[in-house]
């Protein structure tokens, strides 16, 4: 029989099933020589034959199909990270993306945004809904709290909000970049069906959006530089970076740092004015 080193998939499956509680899953707990579930119980939960599952653990069978791998992941009650690891061991690739909309953020993530005092920052979903932001983002990009949650979508704002358009130094170029990055991220997240109504709405509302969307361009949005024509502070130059939020595959953290000392002064002035006006 292959060793753990020779059969990492079998070793992982065995370790995971031994960590499950039989009683909690409705199985009898008497006459068990080892902790966790038996192989036949995992096979039952995954709707596969006991013989085939035994061979899989022993490294004697072929690779499972994606559908069977998913059933085994559910049978073993794997977390998202554990599920991904199973796919990598069994199939040599991560699972296909499955977008799941989640509401809001935990206080720890909001505190992370708030500590970035002079750097406008926000968190957005894979469908580009802004769900959290800091004070610097409010004074630079606008007050998201004054918008209904359904209106806090970056793509919608870009094509339907006159103020969002007016601050761009080269709107058409940035619009093409935004649409290409949005398309790529939505497809990567498996969220194409979730944005269909938004795409239909913007296509009706904006001939410019419809034309750009029909070009089928894709691109990345990991980082770069951005210039904004702020109505109070004047021209702002910002450097931005995007980060995945660990444990929240639906969220991306976007941070804009002032690119020059002069931009730092301008953002500080906007923040001070905001505080004095409250």
Q: How far apart are CA 199 and CA 220, in angstroms?
A: 19
**Spatial CA neighbour of 215 closest among 186, 178, 169, 246:** 178
Tell me, rounded to whole angstroms, the distance of Cα 46 from its chain centroid.
28
Mean pLDDT of 82-100: 86
Mean pLDDT of 128-154: 94
Question: pLDDT at residue 95 above 60?
Answer: yes
Question: pLDDT at residue 1 above 50?
Answer: no
**Spatial CA neighbour of 180 closest among 137, 209, 141, 138:** 209
Q: How far apart are CA 121 and CA 137, in angstroms?
A: 6
Helix axes 8-17, 39-46, angle to 10 degrees: 90
The backbone region for 2, taken as left when phi is positive above 0, alpha when psi lies in -120 to 50, beta otherwise, is beta
Q: How far apart are CA 165 and CA 158, in angstroms?
A: 6
DSSP state, residue 31: S
pLDDT digits over 2-26, tens only?
544 578 999 999 999 999 999 999 9
State which H helix or E strand residue 172 sits in: helix 171-189
Answer yes or no: are the C-beta atoms of 125 and 250 closer than 8 Å.
Answer: yes
Question: pLDDT at residue 100 above 90?
Answer: no
Q: Which two tokens stand for residue 104?
A: 């809001």
pLDDT digits over 43-81, tens only?
999 999 999 999 999 988 788 999 999 999 999 999 888
Domains contained in the chain, CATH given: 8-91 (1.10.260.40), 107-277 (3.30.450.180)
| Confidence band for 257, pLDDT divided at 50, 70 and 90 | very high
Q: Which two tokens stand for residue 262?
A: 């002069």
Q: How far apart are CA 157 and CA 166, in angstroms?
A: 11
């Amino acid at each position: 029989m292959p060793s753990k080193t020779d059969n990492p998939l079998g070793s992982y499956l065995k370790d995971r099933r031994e960590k499950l509680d039989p009683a909690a899953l409705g199985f009898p707990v008497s006459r068990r020589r080892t902790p966790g579930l038996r192989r036949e119980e995992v096979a039952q939960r995954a709707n596969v034959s006991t013989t085939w599952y035994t061979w899989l653990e022993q490294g004697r069978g072929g690779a499972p199909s994606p559908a069977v791998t998913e059933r085994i992941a559910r049978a073993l009650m794997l977390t998202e990270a554990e599920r991904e690891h199973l796919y990598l061991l069994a199939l040599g690739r991560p699972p296909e993306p499955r977008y799941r909309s989640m509401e809001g953020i935990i206080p720890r993530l909001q505190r992370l945004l708030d500590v970035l005092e002079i750097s406008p920052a926000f968190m957005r979903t894979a469908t580009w809904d802004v769900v959290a932001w800091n004070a610097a983002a409010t004074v630079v990009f606008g007050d998201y709290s004054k918008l209904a949650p359904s209106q806090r979508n970056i793509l919608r704002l870009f094509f339907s909000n006159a103020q969002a358009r007016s601050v761009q130094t080269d709107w058409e170029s940035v619009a093409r970049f935004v649409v290409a990055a949005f398309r790529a991220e939505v497809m990567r997240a498996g969220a194409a069906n979730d944005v269909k109504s938004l795409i239909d709405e913007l296509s009706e509302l904006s001939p410019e959006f419809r034309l750009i969307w029909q070009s089928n361009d894709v691109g990345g949005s990991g980082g770069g530089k951005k210039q904004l024509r702020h109505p109070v502070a004047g021209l702002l130059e910002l450097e931005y970076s995007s980060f995945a939020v660990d444990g929240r595959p639906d969220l991306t953290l976007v941070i804009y740092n002032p690119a020059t000392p002069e931009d730092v002064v301008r953002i500080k002035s906007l923040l001070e004015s905001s505080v004095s006006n409250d």
